[in-house]
Structure 1
Amino acid sequence: MKRDFNQWFAGFRASIADYKYYIDFKKVYENIKQYETELNLLNNLVKSKDIETDFEILIRKYPNVMKVVPTLIAKREKQIPAIDKQGQFNYDFENMNQVIGQYKYFMRETGIFDLLENNIVHDIRDLMMGIEIGLNSNARKNRGGTLMEKLVEDFLVKAGFVKNVNYFKEIYLSEIEAKTGLDLSTLSNNGKVKKRFDFAIILDGQVFAIECNFYSSDGSKLNETARSYKAIAIEANKIKNFHFVWLTDGRGWQKAKFNLQETFDVMEHIYNIKDLEENILQKITNFKK
């Protein structure tokens, strides 16, 4: 029986966020703790009357302090490029590659010296905490993808599937070929593309390769994903005993609805969270505990 796209789409959800989705404070604390010594040393520059001299003395004695500087400008990378009328410089905060005077220039021009010497912050640890919380919140999009994977795996386990027995996580096409003897070269462009699926159910000679994602916000990636999965579904239909399954959801699809519908119209196994709740994985695989 042909499903109605609009009825199916109406069941999409605004969020699957759990309590850890918003801020992972444990990760924030871990990031700060690893630099506790360096932060305490850097605190010696707060309210300095001669910050450039005090900075040089500190760095010569404790060069590892420089490792925390990128985080103070909300950067994870330890190599930071900067350009102005003086020229272009690539600063290495893991292994200092410029003279100390150039690092002083960096600290002055980015505003870090001003922050310290004018006592705008009283404790570098508190500043670091705020920055880490901000950086952690920027990682929500990645956590959203992880949440969807966790949700799907919970449904697999609840249905009675067993990891590394009849379902496999983050599995490459080459691994599926090795386990089943299927020729999946058309999906990997004859081995040139290392395609990996989020999950694969391998049961009674049948393979159900699963991709899953959740989009709470829109973006160009959604249209690209819909087109890509449509192409995979068309090729997968030509392979005996191989089935491509796409589990997706989220209100982010609202602006890309028509692209999603194009894929829905040609793809047999495209489902949302409501379908998962109605035991779709057991139904399509004929699996019984």
Structure 2
Amino acid sequence: MNKDFDLFMSQLYETNATLDFYCDFEKIQQNVDEISISLNTLNYLIGKEDLRTAVKLLWDRDPRVFQVLDILIATRRKDDKMYLLPDKTARPIKDLYLSVEGVMEFLDGTGLAQVFKSREIKNLVDYVFGVETGLDSNARKNRSGHVMENWVHDIFTKNGIPCQAEVPCKKIPDVKNVLGEDIKRFDFVIRTQKQTYLIEVNFYSGGGSKPTETARSYTKLSPNINSIKGYKFVWITDGIGWHGVGAFKEAYEKIPYVYNLTTIKEFTDLVRSEL
């Protein structure tokens, strides 16, 4: 197989993000809606000088409204965040939501008490919509991978290539016996009359340690899979994040089946010839 590394690198896309990539407003609105009743109840605290009395009043009516306090400091309950006590021991923030005194310690310690008293926040529902928008930006890295997977899946579909997505390694015994626990699943599996192609897909718009780690991992993975009769490893990747990643050149040279969004036609042509 003739491969031209410099040509491959010159074809890489700068981004795979369309305008709807940056924020998932449907998910953001859903997250806000799920706690909007509690947030509207907590609006009662805004502007109260005697904040403890106001907190006690809400607590006596329904202490569950304070379970949403995490989002006001841009964290989530599932993250199980800790904070440091004066004696240098750590305590889960969620433990503060178990009493009025704990809630007041949280509000005072985080600075939210002053924010409430000064009316710097007018409406907690609107405020949390902004917080959720900020937190959603942290999901962009995962979305970038999903965008690439969807893109590749569409290419397979348009070319009439049947494939399975997110296939656990344990469902392919021959491969599981060789790889062990090295990989949990493959992004796509395509079976033809000649081969079974195990496919990994990713996109890197920026550098860092992750692309290097991925390249080195696949350099080791590829020969192991290719040693199994009837199986081939395929890597479909793109993004200018590969520029300057030394490990990628080695991976490109050692892995027989490496494609980007420009050269993927070579792979689809190959597969269609074997169907």
Q: Same fold (TM over 0.5)?
A: yes
Other-structure match for 1:207: 196
> How far, CA to CA, are the matches of 2:260 and 2:9 in structure 1?
8
> How far, CA to CA, are the matches of 1:60 and 1:204 in structure 2?
69
Task: Check conservation: 2:161, 2:271, Cα contact below 8 A.
Answer: no
Find the partner of 1:91 among 81, 93, 96: 93
Alignment of 1:225 onto 2:214: yes
Cα shift readout 1:51-92 (whole Å, capped 9, x = no counterpart): 111112212322221222111111123533111426532232
> How far, CA to CA, are the matches of 2:194 and 2:176 in structure 1?
14
CA shift at 1:183, angstroms?
Answer: 5.3
**Structure 1 194/259 Cα, relative in aligned 2: closer, same or farther at 3 Å?**
closer
> How far, CA to CA, are the matches of 2:219 and 2:228 in structure 1?
15
Other-structure match for 2:141: 141
Task: Check conservation: 1:43, 1:124, Cα contact below 8 A.
Answer: yes
Find the partner of 1:187 among 171, 179, 188: 179
> How far, CA to CA, are the matches of 1:66 and 1:201 in structure 2?
50
> How far, CA to CA, are the matches of 1:67 and 1:275 in structure 2?
51
**Structure 1 64/168 Cα, relative in aligned 2: closer, same or farther at 3 Å?**
same
SS at match of 2:81: strand
Cα shift readout 1:27-58 (whole Å, capped 9, x = no counterpart): 11111111111111011011002111111221
Structure 1 unaligned segments of length 5 or more: list them. none
Alignment of 1:160 onto 2:160: yes
**Structure 1 288/239 Cα, relative in aligned 2: closer, same or farther at 3 Å?**
closer
Alignment of 1:117 onto 2:117: yes
Other-structure match for 1:63: 63
Other-structure match for 1:285: 271
CA shift at 1:186, angstroms?
Answer: 1.6
Q: Under a length normalisation based on structure 2, what TM-score does the superposition of the two structures give?
A: 0.93
> How far, CA to CA, are the matches of 1:27 and 1:159 in structure 2?
32
Other-structure match for 1:255: 244
Cα shift readout 1:86-133 (whole Å, capped 9, x = no counterpart): 65322327x94x432122111111011111111011111121111111
> How far, CA to CA, are the matches of 2:110 and 2:116 in structure 1?
12
Other-structure match for 1:9: 9
**Structure 1 193/8 Cα, relative in aligned 2: closer, same or farther at 3 Å?**
closer
**Structure 1 16/31 Cα, relative in aligned 2: closer, same or farther at 3 Å?**
same
Q: How many residues matched? A: 273
> How far, CA to CA, are the matches of 1:88 and 1:245 in structure 2?
46
Other-structure match for 1:267: 255
CA shift at 1:239, angstroms?
Answer: 1.4
% identity of equivalent residues = 32
Task: Check conservation: 2:198, 2:234, Cα contact below 8 A.
Answer: yes
Which protein has the bigger helix share?
A: 2
Cα shift readout 1:208-243 (whole Å, capped 9, x = no counterpart): 000000011111011111010000112122111100
**Structure 1 184/206 Cα, relative in aligned 2: closer, same or farther at 3 Å?**
farther
**RMSD in angstroms over aligned alpha carbons?**
1.9
Task: Check conservation: 1:39, 1:65, Cα contact below 8 A.
Answer: yes
Other-structure match for 1:80: 81
SS at match of 1:261: helix
> How far, CA to CA, are the matches of 2:194 and 2:11 in structure 1?
33
Find the partner of 1:172 among 168, 173, 180: 168
Highest RCO, 1 vs 2 (Cα 8 Å, sep ≥ 6):
2
> How far, CA to CA, are the matches of 2:102 and 2:175 in structure 1?
58
SS at match of 2:172: helix
Question: Which letter does structure 1 place at the counterpart of 2:35?
Answer: Y
